[in-house]
Amino acid sequence: MPPDEIDLANPRWHLAVRLRDVILKRWSAEVRAVGVNGSLAHGDDTTSSDVNLVVVTYRAGAGPRATRRRVDGILADLVVVTGDEVLRRAAEITPRWPLEADSWLTTRDLYDPRGWFADLREAHLAKLASARPAEFSTPARSNWCVASAAHARAERLAEWYETDTAMVLMAEARLHTAMVAGLLGRTHFRNQADAVRRSGLAGADMTELGATLRAQADELAARGRPVDGPLSALFE
* C-alpha–C-alpha distance, residues 110 and 4, integer Å: 12
Residue 232 in this model has a pLDDT that exceeds 90: no
Residue 100 in this model has a pLDDT that exceeds 60: yes
What is the model's pLDDT at position 3?
44
For residue range 200-215, list pLDDT tens digits in order. 999 999 999 999 999 9
The backbone torsions φ and ψ at residue 221, rounded to the nearest 5 degrees and listed phi first, read: -65, -40
pTM of the model: 0.92
CB atoms within 10 A of CB 62: 15
* C-alpha–C-alpha distance, residues 110 and 183, integer Å: 31
Domain ranges of the chain: 3-130, 134-233
The verdict on domain 3-130 having CATH code 3.30.460.10 is yes
Residue 89 in this model has a pLDDT that exceeds 70: yes
* C-alpha–C-alpha distance, residues 173 and 150, integer Å: 5
DSSP state of 223: T
Residue 14 in this model has a pLDDT that exceeds 50: yes
For residue range 119-166, list pLDDT tens digits in order. 999 999 999 999 999 999 999 999 999 999 999 999 999 999 899 999
For residue range 47-72, list pLDDT tens digits in order. 999 999 999 999 999 999 999 999 99
Average pLDDT of the chain, as a whole number: 95
